[in-house]
Amino acid sequence: MLLLLGSLLTSCEVIPAGQREEVIFTPTDPSAVKRTSLLIEYSGWQCVNCPTAAEEAHRLKELYGENLVVVVMHPESNPNTRHNNKPALNYTCPEADSVYLMMGGTNTTPFPTGNINMVKDATKGYFQDYAQWATLVSQAYENPKPILLSQEVTGTADSKDINIAVDITNLDTKAIEATLQVWLTEDSVMGSQKKPEGTDKNYAHNHLMRASITPIWGDVVPIEAHMTQQVVYEYTLPDKVVKENCNIVAIVSVNGEVVQAKETRIIIE
């Protein structure tokens, strides 16, 4: 059944595993699954210390490779992202602001800051200083969940339309109710960034969140034990993005915690 997801440009179809041709290999030991974490990095072009946090995110990305997904959000509710209606300085998107506000962000929240796997600390809340990121990612990596996640993203050279197929496999002995979020990010967005020594007008903004392909809080995907669910999306990229620099980020959460994430480039057919 075809479901419209908030926009006529996005559609979703859930395909049960039994209707798919390919065979999913299920490890006998779910603990052998490697966990991929999500690092949300809150940043703003007027935040002079945010490049230092970006360097830490890059270091962790090099360390963990595909087992760490970074998404950089410029929430418009924070003055560090203020652009005074100058499009060249506007790296915000409404969905980034929604996530930021849900986590308790305000116009006085100090930047840089971030969050690992959408986990809320009992005393410190959602926002975590970049000096803590390495420890939190390491702890998550050592605590895998019995979920497999893969995706394929395809498109053509002459169209902004893309197709996204996400496979979620539940290795647990009981059914789960997963939440799937799919976001669009872009690398190599060249623009301004303030630094302690002045403004860098040729700064590369990477992992920049551009839009949410699903509803921002995701689609609920029930999955029986030892089963795979495939979710297929059709999406039209915004005109402002460069397709070759775009990533599709799939995020699976259970009970509000991100348990797997996947970042994929678009395959041009």
Domains and CATH numbers, the chain: 3-19+33-268 (2.60.40.10)
For 256, which DSSP code?
A: T
- Please state the rounded mean pLDDT for residues 225-229: 93
pLDDT at 180: 98
Most confident range (mean pLDDT) of 4-18, 28-42, 191-205 is: 191-205
CB burial readout 57-81, b (16+ within 10 A) else e: beebbeebeebbbbbbbbbbebebb
The token pair that represents 229 in the structure block: 């669910």
CB 7 within 8 A of CB 184: no
Distance set, CA 147 to CA 55, 68, 172, 201 (Å): 30, 15, 8, 42
Quick one: pLDDT band at residue 116, thresholds 50, 70, 90?
very high
- The kind and range of the H/E element at 198 are strand 198-205
Is residue 154 over pLDDT 80?
yes
- Please state the rounded mean pLDDT for residues 4-23: 50
pLDDT at 10: 58
121: Cβ contacts below 8 Å, ≥ 6 apart: 128
| Alpha carbon distance 215, 60 (integer Å) | 29
234: Cβ contacts below 8 Å, ≥ 6 apart: 10, 11, 161, 162, 163, 164
Q: pTM of the predicted model, to two decimals?
A: 0.91
Report the sign of the C-alpha dihedral through residues 93, 180, 68, 53, in that order.
positive
- Please state the rounded mean pLDDT for residues 79-85: 93
Quick one: pLDDT band at residue 4, thresholds 50, 70, 90?
very low
